[in-house]
Chains A and B, each alone.
Chain A
């Protein structure tokens, strides 16, 4: 699977997008903190975090005994530069198509 594919796949899920939004609001959170914001088992949240990590959208770092999760926006930037800039003359419609694509596959 290509890098782009992993990013699109990871973004095509509302729970995972919600996790990214949580990290965007405040970065460097533990699994316990993230879990408290979701109506989901700890295992379920872990699975979603693994998909986000595999796509490079979340970077986990150890800090003492804790594992902290950080939002990594670089893959989104790369998708932007690769797919959006290319269609610069019809930028707005390309963004709309991306939105439709993500919503369809969600």
Chain B
């Protein structure tokens, strides 16, 4: 019997199959005009080179509810378009989560059969218990959104059908 590495015990892995090209999925993750159309609906700005900055902004709806402009900050570790993106990621719009510090996020895109592409998101959340709860959807009842599975479900819907769901902060679906 082996003891699990504390890092793996706090890692969350999410996978979704999307009928779209790897490039379309890459653009949806890294282009602000796409990031505004699914999930939490904020602009994501990437400087796609190692050491480049990542800034994830709050949506208009979140700002109307009193949120600051910046939601997430981080730095690019590795960018291999349209296959692999590794970055650091810190939630800064909440004081407690900001104090938990940086996490590591990896997007892996793999081309499959019949135009279906596999997207795997690995979020290493060691030492960030509050953020881990948020990202697993544990605060959805409070209107904090459903975390990664909800973000990826809406990404799939957007790319496959073109329809968008608008996030209403504080108002659970």
A positions within 8 Å CB-CB of B = 3, 26-30, 32-33, 36, 56, 59, 61, 63, 66, 68, 70-74, 76-78, 81, 85
Contacts and interface: CB of A to CB of B under 8 A. Distances in A.
A70 B12 contact: yes
A77 B150 contact: yes
Nearest to B16: A74
B160 to A, nearest CB: 11
Contact of B149 (A26, A36, A70, A76): A76
A68 B10 CA distance: 12
Contacts of A61: 13, 122
A36 B4 CA distance: 14
B153 A27 contact: no
A29 B8 CA distance: 8
B152 interface: yes
Contacts of A73: 14, 136-137, 149
B5 interface: yes
Interface in B111-150: 120, 122, 136-137, 146, 148-150
A33 B1 CA distance: 7
**By DSSP majority rule, is chain A's interface helix, strand, loop, or mixed?**
mixed
Interface string B136-173: 11000000001011101100110000000000000001
A89 B23 CA distance: 38
Contact of A32 (B2, B150, B153): B2
Nearest to B137: A73
A56 to B, nearest CB: 6
B171 to A, nearest CB: 14
A74 B173 CA distance: 17
B148 to A, nearest CB: 8
Interface string B95-110: 0000000000000000
